[in-house]
Amino acid sequence: MGEETILTKATTKSKSLRTTVPMGIVKQFNLSEGDKLNWEIKAENGNLIIVVKPIKRWKKTLMAYEEDVKNRSFLDWIKAHTSGFKPIHRYEGVFELRDEEIVFEGKDVKEGEEIYLKIPIKNITDVYLGWDDVFTGFPLSRAGDRAYPWNKPLRLRYQSSEGERTLYFFVNFHHKYGIRTSNNKEVYERLKKFIKIA
């Protein structure tokens, strides 16, 4: 048997209603404040049913295209390897993970222009968590991923109308105990459930 909640008025002037999401649902889907719920009405066995699907959202997400990383300046590199600064990126915004697509909405920090990027899950060809030949760790370190195990970039490759593109993310970039980190590992594990990774 499922859990029951009570509907209440959203506002005194609105006909919309609101309810509490049970703690069991919150824990099961790892929901947090700011996440979205997608509501659908479907017909099943002659009845109308409501299907509610969670949409995970992460604010404070950093994003860069492969060419942004390749064309970084020496000053960008210095800042990226200083604990008080953010990793190399070109865009800042909100990352959304839906059933059938990824959405990034934010701003170009260099040009100040808005960006809205929608990537169908079916178009994603590869997801990788860690450093690579383009987005490298500290160049003098031979430790590889062990050099920065808490803040690895999330690489995503997908097919677009312009051919294959490569993106790097730091989803929900933040500092924990003074150390730079992100939710990249969580997002990587979620994406693995959607696509086949060789």
- Say which residues have a Cβ less than 8 Å from residue 133's Cβ, sequence separation at least 6: none
Q: To the nearest whole percent, how much of the chain has pLDDT over 70? A: 84
- Say which residues have a Cβ less than 8 Å from residue 71's Cβ, sequence separation at least 6: none
Higher pLDDT among residues 74 and 12, named by residue: 12
Q: To the nearest whole percent, how much of the chain has pLDDT over 90? A: 39
Query: What amino acid is encoded at 62 in this protein?
Result: L
Tokens of 114: 């808005």
Domain ranges in the chain are 19-54, 56-194
- Say which residues have a Cβ less than 8 Å from residue 46's Cβ, sequence separation at least 6: none
Q: pTM of the full predicted structure?
A: 0.74
Higher pLDDT among residues 47 and 105, named by residue: 105
The mean pLDDT of 156-184, rounded to a whole number, is: 92
The CATH class that applies to domain 56-194 reads mainly beta
**pLDDT of 42 strictly over 50:** yes
Higher pLDDT among residues 21 and 147, named by residue: 21
Report pLDDT for 176.
82
Query: What amino acid is encoded at 172 in this protein?
Result: N
The mean pLDDT of 77-96, rounded to a whole number, is: 77
Higher pLDDT among residues 78 and 105, named by residue: 105
The angle subtended at Cα 93 by Cα 166 and Cα 29, nearest 5°, is 90
Higher pLDDT among residues 182 and 75, named by residue: 182
The mean pLDDT of 91-107, rounded to a whole number, is: 94
The mean pLDDT of 129-142, rounded to a whole number, is: 73
What per-residue string of b and e applies to 71-98 under the rule 16 or more CB within 10 Å gives b?
ebeeebeeebeeeeeebbbbbbbbbbbb
Nearest in space to 167 (alpha carbons), one of 138, 148, 191: 191
**pLDDT of 149 strictly over 70:** no
Contact 127/188 with Cβ under 8 angstroms?
yes
The mean pLDDT of 87-113, rounded to a whole number, is: 93
Higher pLDDT among residues 23 and 148, named by residue: 23
The mean pLDDT of 14-33, rounded to a whole number, is: 78
**Sign of the torsion formed by the C-alpha atoms of 101, 105, 110 and 111:** positive
- Tracing tokens 């600064």 back to the chain, one arrives at 85
**pLDDT of 55 strictly over 80:** no
